A and B are shown apart, each in its own frame.
Chain A
Amino acid sequence: MIPEHKFINADNIEDVLRLLNENDNAKVIAGGTDIIPGFHIDSARFKEIELLIDINKIKDFNSIELADNHLSIGASSNFTQIINDPNVNKYFPLLVNAVSQIGSHQIRNRATIGGNFINNAPCADSVPALLIYNAVLEIKSIIETKEIPLSEFLLKQYQTALNTNEVVTRVKLPFLNENYSGKFYKLGRRRGVAISRISLAVLMKKSNGIIEDVRIAGGAVTPIGTRFTKIEDMMKGKAAKSDLFKEAAQKIGEQILELTGLRWSSIYKLPVVQQKIYQLLEEINLEMNSVNKNEN
C-alpha cells in the first residue's frame, strides 16, 4: 500500500531545492521503480516520507549533453534514453551495456541513472560502469553546487554522502582518450530480467605492451559497488601478460573477502569472480593486440 503523502510536480530545480530545504522528510521521485515497490513491501527505507517531489517535468534533469571534456547526463535520464543516446554509445559503451541489462524493458523505460545509485544498493548495475569511467556527480542544494566523485559519494550499503537538502542533478563522465578498451559482465539469477549476483567492469589502456592504466570495478560482490584501486595500481606499468592478470584476479578475490567477510554466497561467487576477471583482462588484452595488428 502506498502511504499518504504530499506530492508536488516540480517545474524547476529552484523549487526542488527550496522544497528540500524546507522539508526534512521530503524525497525526490523520478522513475519510482525503487520507491513504489518499496512502499508496497513496506520497506523501512521509505517509512518516513512526507513529501514526494516529482522531477520528471524538469528538462535540466533529464538531458544528455556534450561538454568540452565530459559528457553530462541528467540524473533523471532513464535507461532507455541512455541506451538510445548516440554519445553515450560512442564514448561510454560499457555504461550502455550495463544499463541495458537492468530490469525489464518496462523498468528501463522509467528507472533513472540517478535512482540506480542514489540508494546505494549493492546490486546497482550502473555503478561498476560509472566507477571505471570516473563518474563525478553534480550535487545542488539551496546553498551551493558542488561536484563529488561517485566513488566518494557511495559510503556504505544504502548510505551516501547526500544531505537531505541536496539533490544529484547530473552525472559527468570525463572523456577518455581513445586507447582504452573495456568490458562489462553480468551474471544474473536467470536469463531475463535478472538481478545481479555478480557484475564487473574492466577498462584498460596499453602502450607497447605495458599497462598504462587499468580500472576494475565490481557490483554485488562487495557490500557496495567498488573500484579495486590497489590492484589497479599494482598492475600499472607492468607488461600485460597472463601471469599478471592471474595475480590481479587472485588479489581481487582476497580483497572481496576482506570487504565482505565469508558468506554462504562467497563460496560460489569468489572463484567465479576471479576466473571472470582473469578472463575479461585476457580478452581485452587480446582484442587490443588484434586491433593494433590491424592498424599496423
Chain B
Amino acid sequence: MSRKIIKSKYDLYEEKIETIAEVPSEKEKPLAPNSKLKYVGKDVNRYDGYDKVSGSAIYTIDKVLPNMVFARVMVSPHPHAKIKSIDVSKALKLKGVLHIITNENTSEIPWYYNTSKLFDKHLRYQGDEVACVAAETEKIAEEALSLIKVEYEIMPHVVTAESAMKENAPKIHNNGNFGRPSEYTRGNFDEGIKQADVTIEDTFTTQVEVHNPTEVHCSVVNWDGGKLTVWDSTQSIFSVRDNVAQSLGLNASDVRVVKKYMGGGFGSKLEAGKYTVMAALLAKKIGRPVKAAMNRREMNLSVGNRPDSNQTITIGTKKDGTFTAMSHIAYGVMGAYPSGSSSYWPLRSIYKCPNIKIDNKSIYINAGRARPFRAPGHVQGTFALESIIDDLALKLGMDPIELRLKNYTEVDQDGDVPYTSKLLKEAYEKGAEEIGWKNRNKIPGSQTGEIKTGIGMASQIWWGGGAPPSYATLKLNSDGSAKIFSGTQDIGTGTYTFMQQIAADVLEIPIDKVNVDLGDTGTMPYSGGSGGSMTAPSVSPAVYDAAIQMKQKLISNAAAILEVDESNLIYSSGNISSKNDSSKSIEIKDVVGKIHERVLVTTGARNENPNGYAINSFGAQFAKVEVDTMTGIVRVKKIVAAHDIGRVLNRKTLENQFYGGVIMGLGYALMENRVIDDYTGKVLTTNLHDYKMPTMQDMPDIKVIIVSEEDNLISPTGVKGIGEPAMIPTPGAIANAVFNAIGVRIKSLPITPDKILEALNSKS
C-alpha cells in the first residue's frame, strides 16, 4: 500500500501543531459499521483486566530493580524566597545517604521554557525544588532532607490573581506577573452590541482544581553506559524521552522510556518531571538504579492543577434570541511558571456569532504551576458560558434549548468550513427526553417546600479528532496469534483493548489470539501523547491500516503458496481460499508457517485529516438536582450525557470514561478546591482529607446516550475522542439545574452549601 509524507497540521487552542508524518496515500475503505462487526463496538472485556484485578499489574511505583536506591526531593517551604546558602554536610554524614544534588553541584539545566532552572536559587512557590537526595532506603532519604540546612531570604508573596495584577505587587518574574495574553477578535463587537435588542453581562469565577491521580508521579531510572532507561508514570512516553534527552544533553535515541501501567494522570503526566531528571543525575553519579517518587503532599503542591478563572461575559441578542455579539474578558492564575489559564474557547466556537471580542490574561502567582487538566479551559469556560445563556433565555422568555438552537451553527465559526459531523441537535433531543426536560420548573425556584428539585443542561464542544503521525506495527505468527506494538500508551482508557478488537475484526480471528504491547519508545513506532482525547482517534486508524495491510500480505503470500491468482482468492474467518476450487484453501497461520521467517510484519499509519473540514466532538449533559434549602446541600440525582463522538469502539470502556468524567465534573462543581492561605501563602489542602473528591456515595444515576455512528470523513475507523467531552458540560449542567431549583444564580464554583444559603438569603 502506498505511502506519502505530509506536513500534518492540527489545531489545539491557538497552537498550530505541525509535524511531518507518513500517511496512507489513498483514502482507505472504512471499517464496516459496528452492526456488522464481531468485536468493535461491543462489550469486550478489558485486555488488561486480569493484571489489574489480580494485583499483578506492575506500575512504575511498584518497579524494583536490583541494587536500586531511592531519591527524595526537598522543596521550598516558603511561597517566595531566595536560597542564600545550602549546607548538606550533616545530611551526607547520615548512614545510607549516597549523594545529594543542589544548585551548587549541578550544571544549569533550563526548565519551564527557560524561565527557571532544574535547581533555581529563586524559589517561586511552596514546592519549588531545592535539593534531591539519594539514599539506600526511602526513609533514609526522607530523614536526610530534614538534615539539609538551607538559609532562605524570604520574599513577599502573592497568591491571588487580583493582588498579583496590582502595579506594586511583588514580581515573580523580572518582566512582571503577566503571562502571554490570549486575544481574539471576530467581526466588530461594538457594532454587534449596537445591533442588539437585549444585552446581558455577568462575571463568573471558578476555583483551582488538583488532578490527584491515585498513583503519585514517579520514575525509575537506570543507566547502561551512556544509555538511559526511564520507567515513568506518564501519559506521553515520547515527550518524556525528548524532555529528558534535552535536559541531559543526550540523543533522544539514547533515552528509552517505558510505561506499562499507570495510575491516572488527567493531564498532569504529559511532561517529564524534575524528579525524573534529578533521578537520572543521581543514578549517573552513584552508578545504581534510582527510584524517585512524589508523595501526596507534593502531588497537591507541585505537579499541576486546573487554573482558576474570573470570567466576565457579555452577550448581545436580537429579541428572537439571535446573538449579535459576545465578549469574554477573563483572567486566571497559572502558578509560578509559564502555562495558560484562558477559558474563552467554548464561547468562541460553539455558537454562531459574527462579532466576538476576547481578552484573557494569565497571571503568575506564588503557587504550583498549572498543567493541562481534562479539557483545559473548556470546563470552566463552559460553566460560565452555559450559565449566562440560561440567564439570557430567562430574560428573553425562551426555553434554554430553544435559545441554543437559535444560534446553532453547521459551520466552524473560525474557519468557515463545515464539520465532518455535528449531531448536537440530536444530543439535545435525546438528552432532553431522557431527563424529562418538560418537567423542569418553568419559573426557576418556584417550588415550595424545603427540598427543591431542578433540571438544567449544558452543551459541549471539543476537538479530539486525532491526527497523524501515529503508527502501529502488527506481527502475525505461525501459531495464528497476532501482536500489536505501538508507542502510544494505555492510561486506563482502553487503548490495549480497542487495538485488539480492531485487529481481530479486520483479520477475522478470535480476539484472544491478539496481543498488544504499548508504551516503549525504544522498540515501538511513534505515537503521540495520551491527552486531548487524541489517543483512540489517532491510534485506531493506524492499527486498522496495519491489519488491512496484513490481510493483503496474507492474500499475496497465499497466492504464491497455492499458486492461485490473488484476484481469485477470498479471505474469510482467517482462511484464504480459491473462489473456483474449494480444495485450494489455507489457514492464515499456515500461510505464515510456510514462509521462511515464520512471521509477517506490517506497520500501519494514521491517515491524513480531510481538508476543508473542522473536526469536533459535541454533546450535551442534563442534570437533575435536589437542593436542601435549609442546609444548602446539593445532591445530584441524575446526569444524562448525550454525545456525538463518532464510532463507539467499546461500550464498556466508553462508559468508564463517561461515568468518570461526569463524577470528576461533579467534584469540581460541588466540592474540589485548592485553598491557599493568603497571609502565609501556603496551601491548606495538601492531603486527601482536606482536598475533598467525590466518593461512591456522591455518585448520581448516570445515563450515557451516544447519538453518533462512525464519522468516515475523519478516518476509516470514524472515531472521535471522549475523555474530555465527558467532563466538559457537567459543572455547567449542575449549575443550571441548581438555578432551576432555587431561582438564584450561583456564579462561583464550587457550589457549596454556604454559597447556596447566602444566595437564598439575599433573594429573600
Contact = CB atoms under 8 A, between A and B. Distances in A.
B287 interface: no
A38 to B, nearest CB: 11
B697 A268 contact: no
Contact of A189 (B139, B632, B671, B758): B671
Contacts of B698: 190-192
Contacts of B448: none
Nearest to A275: B630
A223 B631 CA distance: 21
Interface string B745-764: 00000000110011000000
Interface range on chain B (Cβ under 8 Å from partner): 20 to 34
A192 B695 contact: yes
B742 to A, nearest CB: 16
Interface residues of A, number: 17
Given A41-B687, A268-B754, A191 B695 contact: yes
Interface in A165-202: 187, 189-193, 195
Contact of B630 (A189, A191, A276): A276
B694 interface: yes
A152 B711 CA distance: 72
A272 B697 contact: no
A191 B687 contact: no
Interface string A186-222: 0101111101000000000000000000000000000
Interface in B84-118: none
A193 B695 CA distance: 8
B694 A195 contact: no
A267 interface: yes
B757 A271 contact: yes
Contacts of A291: none
Contacts of B632: 268, 272
Contacts of A267: 754, 758
A189 B692 contact: yes
B242 to A, nearest CB: 35
B53 interface: no
A234 to B, nearest CB: 24
B753 A268 contact: yes
Interface in A110-166: none
A192 B697 CA distance: 5
Given A190-B671, A190-B692, A267-B754, A272 B142 contact: no
Given A267-B754, A268-B753, A268-B757, A187 B633 contact: yes
B689 interface: yes
Question: Which of A192, A276, A279 has most B Cβ within 10 Å?
Answer: A192
A268 B635 CA distance: 18
B71 to A, nearest CB: 16
Interface in B717-764: 753-754, 757-758
Nearest to A272: B631
B637 to A, nearest CB: 12
A1 B630 contact: no
A187 B697 contact: no
A5 to B, nearest CB: 14
Interface in B662-686: 670-671
Contacts of B635: 191
Interface string A266-296: 0110011001100100000000000000000
Given A1-B139, A190-B695, A272-B757, 12 more contacts: A1-B143, A189-B692, A190-B671, A190-B692, A192-B696, A192-B697, A193-B697, A195-B689, A268-B753, A272-B630, A272-B632, A276-B630
Interface of B: 139, 142-143, 630-633, 635, 670-671, 687, 689, 692, 694-698, 753-754, 757-758
Give the top 3 A-B pairs by smallest Cβ distance, nearest first: A192-B697, A192-B695, A191-B697
